Copies of this chain bind each other. A is one copy, B any other.
């Protein structure tokens, strides 16, 4: 099924990224080329330990995130980074998201109750 045949199929919306918690994780990592620690990531995304660990595993299995464990004993440290593949694929995902936004923006101009607002730029 091509986009031409079904322009709203959005087959490019990779399910690994298109999940709210994982989207938060990846977006956080996107701005940190040196990666983020587990605790920082947990706070930024508002996730529990268990949830963050589970989603990181999905991202690691897809090859999008690299998880490095350093330190030993009572304070092991986990550092998470986007891989090059993750970076490229996330950029592709964002391109589809831009298309969704472009097409969806018509919701702000086509509503019967917002006709007076239709002159506002979208």
Q: Which residues of A contact B (CB under 8 A)?
A: 1, 5-11, 13, 15, 18, 20, 23-28, 30-33, 43-47, 82, 84, 87, 90-91, 94, 97-98, 100-101, 103-108, 110-115, 118, 122
Contacts and interface: CB of A to CB of B under 8 A. Distances in A.
The 9 closest A-B pairs by CB, nearest first: A6-B46, A9-B46, A30-B107, A8-B24, A31-B106, A33-B110, A1-B46, A31-B122, A27-B104
Count of chain copies: 2
B111 A32 contact: no
Contacts of A91: 107-108
A90 B110 contact: no
A107 B82 contact: yes
A89 B15 CA distance: 23
Given A13-B23, A97-B97, A118-B33, A90 B113 contact: no
